[in-house]
Structure 1
């Protein structure tokens, strides 16, 4: 999987300590750490420190060097692989044991059809710390389990004041993990080498604030390589507006994805295809004269039109039944959920062993 920018986590508390000065740098002996009898001498730095003006640059250079040596050169996109399958399988079992769900009854989908979560202000409160721990552990699993993305992002909205209703939903997700610990993403050697994306939105589905949520999924080879489920920062008045904002977010990600793939030696020369199940959004990306449906859309989202006109991206209609991103939009019937999960490239690790 190619990580999203929001998924790249750095230890900011020690980031600068990994930089090595390219020239001799000396500092006075810190107060309390003077060497007795040699107080007049200075220290020569072996590593960068906070306060050193070169520290940020040195830290970035070290990070770029490590990335190129340890990551970019080690990736072979022509090799079939199951991303972190054995490690994440072990981690999933540890999570289940940690929260006492390793003996629970497994279920086939992470959330019940028709489920609607709210703040539930009158509900019975549960342990906030425990709830946050469970959500945090599940969020880590979503890095290789996109089928968990919708349900986990949903419960994460209530970590500050969780109730029994939220806890029961969370326990069902754990029961789903219990029954699917063998699942992971399979990338086949002869898979499709063209990057393609699916974009979708759930209009005003959040019951508490009526904001919409943007979803996108990127596929390469036989599996998904990037995915997102994020509540929109603005209120939308029409379905078309929510879908257009989601498509814009997907477009931004596609530009970054193509840059990453170029660094990996997999240049995407063709226009990136974005599949969308809303025909009005597709027409709006091509034709600005749709005042009734576009007058409320913030101007900052309209650069999608320019990219579409320049041939950088192309919005193509797909039916709702073939909309892969739908799995991260709402609870689905079991047969639909399993079908879309399969289109993600998610399968048992035994399929690659």
Structure 2
């Protein structure tokens, strides 16, 4: 085990002196769409540098240096957090969130805890110290404390598509935060909660009867989303059928959209006046805070320049490395050994499996901006039930790869078209235990990588052609859904989306009812590929195996192949000096 550094993160003053962005055109210089034949060129073919503003540099440094408390005891020793907790309690009382009572006989009060977060201005300075009281919803009982709980949450693919469209069309991006969003939701059930830590017991009262929803309750998200969607419809916005968290408004040539993820909003469009009207409307209905230009959303750092919009999870990555004690580890060149064979039965069982599960869980969220680790995380997540030492060693290897470039992320270019292009691949009988194949695909919107997936197929394929055909079916469904999403974003996509595959037999099956003996057992839903081709939604094309970008999502690759494919996917690191 590599010893921990004495500080939580590396000093940023050296690595952050020179920011740069790469600009990726959809075609290489001098190339035409007809001459590409599915080939994507590495970033080195067309690279320019652009230094980001000092304010963004300050912002990136600030979010990496301030340590947030994890317990009430830690926060209670700091006057700043004491003030934050008292402010939250005052807001809850003014909102009539609860009524202090003596717990009735036969009822059980759920617990609660404090969660602490530092909020920043766009220039990196501290805006405020936020303390949020959260109910321990996992102690609620179904049918007693709650009934319906489902609430839509914005798909992260939608977030990336929205950023890609905004980058090409030069739309401004605004971020809004709803203060105490869940407190706006009305609570219909009879729910009791323990007195919050820090709230003095008043007389004989020993519990709170909740009048409104509070963070952590299982039904809180549903109550809040119902309240918000009802209000936004009054402003003339329509709910997207592709993503129910996306609301759009079209008036002549004016287009405005708002995407909501719980209590965080992204607002964009081509009409600044309509955006101002929307902000004013929201201010009249909720306690809304305008956070200015989009900088930090759901743990994703957003940077913008004339070259495009880049996203990364640098702080989140450094936090994972710090938790694992690998901030000083030697970096690895690629995520997973090429010939690594992991087994659920070989190796010593870990005494503390929670550490493994926690690390893998965090790595799953890191795949939001790190597509190249999707396959490795997919493999490691299969051993959560009973992890062993070889599995933990593979996690550490992946973390050492992340150590080499913690600020690596994606670039959404500001120039190019908004045409969908997909790559699909399958590794036949990849799983040594079940002999099921692994599907991998990725989808580009112009020059921006917006969607990707690694997934083990649900059934065993009898041939590589069948495995590839199933992968094509998965990619086809994704492309079809994305065309619906682009329609809601007023992106005209009249051309069929092109889907590249490196298996000729699968291409023949998709185009014609051939190879009856090899296809009569394939499920009907797989033939959605042929149906979409006939409808003109997609068109298929062959790409040689060496240029198949989806290969990175189906198997562990060696350093040379891995770096070659990664360089063609728009993955960059703005934190490395040019």
TM-score, length-scaled by structure 2: 0.51
Structure-1 separation of matches of 2:190 and 2:553: 56
Contact 1:117 1:166 in 2 (8 A): yes
1:244 paired residue number = 469
Contact 2:439 2:457 in 1 (8 A): yes
Contact 1:261 1:267 in 2 (8 A): yes
| Equivalent pairs, count | 325
1:144 to 366, 369, 375: 369
Contact 2:157 2:450 in 1 (8 A): no
1:314 paired with 2:539, answer yes
1:84 paired residue number = 311
1:67 to 229, 235, 259: 259
- Superposition deviation, residue 268 in structure 1: 1.5
Partner of 1:339: helix, strand, or coil?
Answer: helix
Listed as ranges, the gaps of 5+ residues in structure 1 are: 8-15, 33-44
2:502 to 268, 274, 277: 277
1:94-243 paired onto structure 2 within 5 Å: 94-119=319-344, 121-126=345-350, 127-243=352-468
- Superimposed CA distance per residue, residues 262-309 of structure 1 (whole angstroms, 9 cap, x where no aligned partner): 222322111010000001111101111321321221112112211111
- Superimposed CA distance per residue, residues 129-186 of structure 1 (whole angstroms, 9 cap, x where no aligned partner): 1100110111111110001111111111111111111111111000000012131111
Contact 2:440 2:471 in 1 (8 A): yes
Q: Which is greater in Rg?
A: 2
Partner of 2:409: helix, strand, or coil?
Answer: strand
Check 1:81–1:132 CA distance in 2 against 1; reply closer, same or farther (3 A cut).
farther
Contact 1:217 1:224 in 2 (8 A): yes
Contact 1:237 1:296 in 2 (8 A): no
Structure-2 separation of matches of 1:97 and 1:291: 55
Listed as ranges, the gaps of 5+ residues in structure 2 are: 1-153, 161-180, 194-210, 231-244, 248-257, 271-293, 295-303
Check 1:55–1:19 CA distance in 2 against 1; reply closer, same or farther (3 A cut).
same
Contact 2:311 2:411 in 1 (8 A): no
Structure-1 separation of matches of 2:491 and 2:307: 16
Contact 2:426 2:437 in 1 (8 A): yes
Contact 1:2 1:226 in 2 (8 A): no
1:262 paired residue number = 487
Partner of 1:169: helix, strand, or coil?
Answer: helix
Check 1:324–1:166 CA distance in 2 against 1; reply closer, same or farther (3 A cut).
same
Partner of 1:315: helix, strand, or coil?
Answer: strand
Partner of 1:343: helix, strand, or coil?
Answer: coil
Check 1:317–1:28 CA distance in 2 against 1; reply closer, same or farther (3 A cut).
closer
Partner of 1:162: helix, strand, or coil?
Answer: coil
Partner of 2:368: helix, strand, or coil?
Answer: coil
Structure-2 separation of matches of 1:133 and 1:31: 30
1:3 paired with 2:152, answer no
Partner of 1:108: helix, strand, or coil?
Answer: coil
TM-score, length-scaled by structure 1: 0.81
1:39 paired residue number = none
2:226 paired residue number = 58
1:330-349 paired onto structure 2 within 5 Å: 330-349=555-574
More strand by percentage: 2
More helix by percentage: 1
Contact 1:206 1:212 in 2 (8 A): yes
- Superimposed CA distance per residue, residues 237-268 of structure 1 (whole angstroms, 9 cap, x where no aligned partner): 11111111111011111111112222223221
Structure-1 separation of matches of 2:391 and 2:419: 40
Contact 1:201 1:242 in 2 (8 A): yes
Contact 1:254 1:272 in 2 (8 A): yes
Check 1:46–1:114 CA distance in 2 against 1; reply closer, same or farther (3 A cut).
closer
Structure-2 separation of matches of 1:116 and 1:270: 43
Partner of 2:321: helix, strand, or coil?
Answer: helix
CA RMSD after TM alignment? 3.5
Structure-2 separation of matches of 1:318 and 1:2: 29
- Superposition deviation, residue 91 in structure 1: 1.3
- Superimposed CA distance per residue, residues 109-134 of structure 1 (whole angstroms, 9 cap, x where no aligned partner): 01111112221x14201121110011
Structure-2 separation of matches of 1:274 and 1:28: 49
Contact 1:135 1:156 in 2 (8 A): yes
Structure-2 separation of matches of 1:28 and 1:301: 44
Structure-2 separation of matches of 1:30 and 1:170: 41
- Superposition deviation, residue 191 in structure 1: 3.1
- Superposition deviation, residue 200 in structure 1: 0.6
